[in-house]
Amino acid sequence: MALSKDRGITMNDGNKIPILGFGTYPPDAEATKTAIEFGFRHIDGAYVYQSEEQVGRAVRAKISDGTVKREDIFYTGKVSEFGNFFFKK
């Protein structure tokens, strides 16, 4: 059973963000691909999860194989004031 595309909140600019998002911690590209296949279009990540690279690869793969278009995906990320503290290089 796929998730409904109609379940979302309309933003001020007319775009619609899906109510239900797929969290990407711990980072797992295969889980993200499976979530997209099952109908998730809202992908949630964060700098502190260190998931951006795997999520990007998963989304690109599902665009390449025709499962979704880029405009179908709504990615949200979080910026933490503590992120720079924990991940200083």
Which 3 state secondary structure label does DSSP give 69? coil
Active site residue 49: yes
End-to-end CA distance of the chain: 44
Closest CA to 40 of 77, 3, 89, 82: 3
Q: Which of 25, 47, 49, 75 is catalytic?
A: 49
Residues tagged active-site: 49
